[in-house]
Amino acid sequence: MTVLHGEGVSRGVASGKLRFLSRNAQAQPRREAADPEAEAARFDKARGEAIVQLAQLYVETRARLGEEQSLLFKIHQMMLEDLDYRETVTGLIRSEKVCAEYAVDQAAAQFSAMFTQMDDRYMRERAADVLDVSRRVIRLLTGREDDALMEAEPAIIAADDLAPSETARLDRERVLAFITAKGSASSHTAIFARTMGIPAVVGLGDSLLEAYSGREVFVDGTSGEVYVEPDAETVAGLQRRRAAEDERRSYLERFRGREAAAPDGRRVLVCANIGSPADLGAALTGDADGVGLFRSEFLYLGRDDFPSEEDQYRAYREAVEAMGGRTVVVRTLDIGADKQADYFRLPREENPAMGMRAIRICLTRPQVFLTQLRALYRASAHGKLAIMFPMITSVAEVRRIKEICAQARRELEAEGKPFDGHAELGIMIETPAAAVISDLLAREVDFFSIGTNDLTQYTLAADRQNAAIEPFCDRHHEAVLRLIRTTVENAHGAGIWAGICGELAADAALTDIFLDMGVDELSMTPGSILEIKARILDR
């Protein structure tokens, strides 16, 4: 028996024969193009065909998995329509006089490397999306389609990685589970697996060998373990795990669609943190009461210039419409620290976590801020949208923010563009300064959302990016909990609501404490929502 260790990303235990998904993943050969303009035209034709395919995949995925899960393929269409992507490919064709396949392959590598090198984990995972859409274009250019996933015999699929479009095509009746050498829990591939109820383990690395193909394996998507030809005793234990997991899943489903309430009868919203419209499917599938944190950085990262008002408006509108009347809290631009964009031309800093980031950038570049606010207010006409500002440390900052918000509203009103003039304005409490003066800040805004990741970092003077000091970063530290309690009490004293959108929101060990504090909302990764609802309702 051999045991492989990875990251379990979709719970459940499955067993069956292992089948490796083989692809022609070799780099495209460089071929000279006698007529670069003809090659550019070939690329544009294949790109157009790929967009049509993605539109069809969107329709098929929507029918199979629901509207929310299909949104990713709209994002993929937008990637192929992106001017930077198109110009990079055609520029390579014309400047180097190379074939379209090679140019697409090189452009995909460039964009993927750019995403991979970003500090923000969400943006790193977008590297898989750009590779996925580029492979689609290359298949169309070469005339080779991959139907390896459509074989008839049920099996456990193994691969170096699975693209989101491949995962969406998985047949639940024929794919018992999947395991990959690469990948992460928050990738769209993992989200699709959870939606379809397919056990999955990713990140197995070099331990996943093609030599295991055809062997009997057990996959535990909870522990992240893969057993190759397990002995009888291990099989018996795994079967007990499978029965327990089935029982747990049935238990959690009892809480789907129910409103969570504190012991005093007060409703507690259990919401989702998301990074782009493509994640809305996970939020709704996870039974979110709304979106408590919509990170807007995806619009700014991985590009060469500032996003336009129209680009932002479309993304925010898509989010509020998809949530169907449930509140979407959008955090304004939080560039800086571990999230960098070269075109901002931010100065290099010794301590960027405490430097020019988030609201400080917005207030020193008011036109960039105003563009985002205009887009947000315009989107508010299509659903329930709230605007939240990060990294606040003073009342003066909030008052200046409100002045710029008022300017955005005046401009839109003068232009005859509809918006919700009563859209809530809130701030993140993620600095000790904001928590200490939360009584003063509460008079200025409609809500607080406590960002426990940064609040813990700044309170304990413990850099959350530094693994070496992890032992000194006690996320249950009494100082952090006292600041949270003070913030909630001051919010309620001023008649506004207070939520938590940091990692502690999903910490079941603290749920009862937060309820006793009077927290009104807990926002977390979508996969944790039913767990926390169950914790609240089954006390």
Query: Residue 282: is its pLDDT beyond 90?
Result: no
Counting residues of the chain whose pLDDT is more than 70, the rounded percentage is 89
Same domain, 139 and 186: no
Same domain, 82 and 8: no
- The two tokens of residue 512 are 């009862």
- Range name among 73-77, 108-112, 342-346, 444-448 with the lowest pLDDT average: 342-346
Q: What are the φ/ψ torsions at residue 175 (nearest 5 degrees)?
A: -110, 110
Most confident residue range from 26-30, 347-351, 368-372: 368-372
Domain carrying residue 197: 2-20+154-167+175-250
- The two tokens of residue 488 are 């909630």
Same domain, 324 and 442: yes
What confidence tier does 166 reach under pLDDT thresholds 50, 70, 90?
Answer: confident
Same domain, 382 and 242: no
153: annotated binding-site residue? no
Number of residues written out for the chain: 539
Same domain, 41 and 83: yes
User: Which of 250, 276, 295 marks a domain boundary?
Assistant: 250
What CATH number does the domain containing 378 carry? 3.20.20.60
What confidence tier does 423 reach under pLDDT thresholds 50, 70, 90?
Answer: very high
Q: Name the residue among 355, 304, 366, 310 with its Cα closest to residue 333.
A: 366
Same domain, 12 and 48: no
CB 176 within 8 A of CB 221: no
Same domain, 79 and 195: no
- Range name among 147-161, 229-243, 247-261, 438-452 with the lowest pLDDT average: 147-161
Question: pLDDT (tens digit, 9 = 90+) per residue, 504-528?
Answer: 999 999 999 999 999 999 999 887 8
Question: pLDDT (tens digit, 9 = 90+) per residue, 287-326?
Answer: 999 999 999 987 887 677 899 999 999 999 999 999 999 9
Same domain, 416 and 467: yes
CA distance 19 to 440: 61
Q: Name the residue among 335, 346, 350 with its Cα closest to residue 302.
A: 335
329 in helix, strand or coil?
strand
Written as one letter, the residue type at 211 is: A
The strand ranges marked E within 221-346 are: 225-228, 269-274, 291-295, 328-331
What is residue 76's predicted lDDT score, i.e. its pLDDT? 85
What is residue 465's predicted lDDT score, i.e. its pLDDT? 59
Residue matched to tokens 């937060």: 514
Same domain, 431 and 294: yes
What is residue 401's predicted lDDT score, i.e. its pLDDT? 97
- For residue 240, being part of any structural domain is answered with yes
What confidence tier does 45 reach under pLDDT thresholds 50, 70, 90?
Answer: very high
What confidence tier does 464 reach under pLDDT thresholds 50, 70, 90?
Answer: low
- For residue 334, being part of any structural domain is answered with yes
454: annotated binding-site residue? yes
What is residue 340's predicted lDDT score, i.e. its pLDDT? 57
Q: Name the residue among 521, 475, 8, 401 with its Cα closest to residue 532.
A: 521
What is residue 119's predicted lDDT score, i.e. its pLDDT? 60
In the chain, the number of structural domains is 3
Question: pLDDT (tens digit, 9 = 90+) per residue, 223-259?
Answer: 999 999 999 999 999 999 888 888 888 898 899 999 9
Counting residues of the chain whose pLDDT is more than 90, the rounded percentage is 56
Q: Name the residue among 292, 501, 271 with its Cα closest to residue 385.
A: 292
Q: Residue 5: beta bridge partners? A: 225
Residues 6 or more apart whose Cβ sits within 8 Å of residue 251? 534
331: annotated binding-site residue? yes
- For residue 30, being part of any structural domain is answered with no
- The two tokens of residue 91 are 């520029």
- For residue 27, being part of any structural domain is answered with no
- Residue/partner pairs of 49-56 with CB below 8 Å, 24 or more apart: 49/140, 50/80, 50/133, 50/136, 50/137, 50/140, 51/77, 51/80, 51/81, 53/136, 53/140, 54/80, 54/133, 54/136, 54/165
Higher pLDDT: 123 or 449? It is 449
Same domain, 72 and 161: no
Spacing of C-alpha 306 from chain mean position: 21
Mean pLDDT of 339-343: 64
Query: Residue 471: is its pLDDT beyond 60?
Result: yes
453: annotated binding-site residue? yes
What CATH number does the domain containing 193 carry? 3.50.30.10
Question: pLDDT (tens digit, 9 = 90+) per residue, 348-360?
Answer: 766 766 777 789 9
CA distance 444 to 225: 51
Please give the C-alpha separations between residue 162 and each of 145, 287, 350, 502, in angstroms, as whole numbers: 15, 26, 39, 29
Same domain, 120 and 214: no
* Residues catalogued as catalytic: 188, 501
Mean pLDDT of the chain: 87
- For residue 29, being part of any structural domain is answered with no
Q: Exposed e or buried b for every residue in 506-533, given b needs 16+ CB within 10 A?
A: bbeebbeebbebbbbbbbbbbbbbbbbb
- For residue 220, being part of any structural domain is answered with yes
User: Which of 250, 265, 289 marks a domain boundary?
Assistant: 250
User: Which of 250, 268, 297 marks a domain boundary?
Assistant: 250
363 in helix, strand or coil?
helix
Alpha helices in 340-451 (DSSP H): 359-364, 366-379, 395-415, 432-436, 438-441
136: annotated binding-site residue? no
CA distance 418 to 49: 36
Query: Residue 96: is its pLDDT beyond 80?
Result: yes
Question: pLDDT (tens digit, 9 = 90+) per residue, 201-212?
Answer: 999 999 999 899
Higher pLDDT: 425 or 25? It is 425
What is residue 57's predicted lDDT score, i.e. its pLDDT? 80
- For residue 201, being part of any structural domain is answered with yes
Residue matched to tokens 């392959």: 105
- For residue 28, being part of any structural domain is answered with no
485: annotated binding-site residue? no
Same domain, 138 and 161: no
CB 355 within 8 A of CB 393: no
